[in-house]
Amino acid sequence: PYLFYKDFFMEGKPAFVPSKDISLLDVLDIVGETGGVPVLAHPGASFQNVNKKDLSLLKSRGLKGLEVYTSYHNEEQTRNYKRLAEEFDLVPTAGSDFHGMIKPHIAFGSVKEGGYWMIDKLRKRRP
What percentage of the chain carries pLDDT values higher than 90? 50
* 96, part of any domain: yes
**Domain limits at 63?**
22-124
Neighbouring C-beta atoms of residue 52, cutoff 10 Å: 10
Task: Select, from the ranges 10-14, 25-29, 44-48, the one with the highest average predicted confidence (pLDDT).
Answer: 25-29
- In total, how many domains does the chain have? 1
Residue 126 in contact with residue 35, Cβ under 8 Å? yes
* 27, part of any domain: yes
Neighbouring C-beta atoms of residue 122, cutoff 10 Å: 17
* 9, part of any domain: no
Q: What is the CATH number of the domain that holds 81?
A: 3.20.20.140
Residue 113 in contact with residue 96, Cβ under 8 Å? no
> Which of the pair, 10 or 57, is modelled with greater confidence?
57
Q: What is the pLDDT of residues 82-103, one digit of tens each?
A: 999 999 999 999 876 655 555 5
pTM (2 decimals)? 0.78
* 15, part of any domain: no
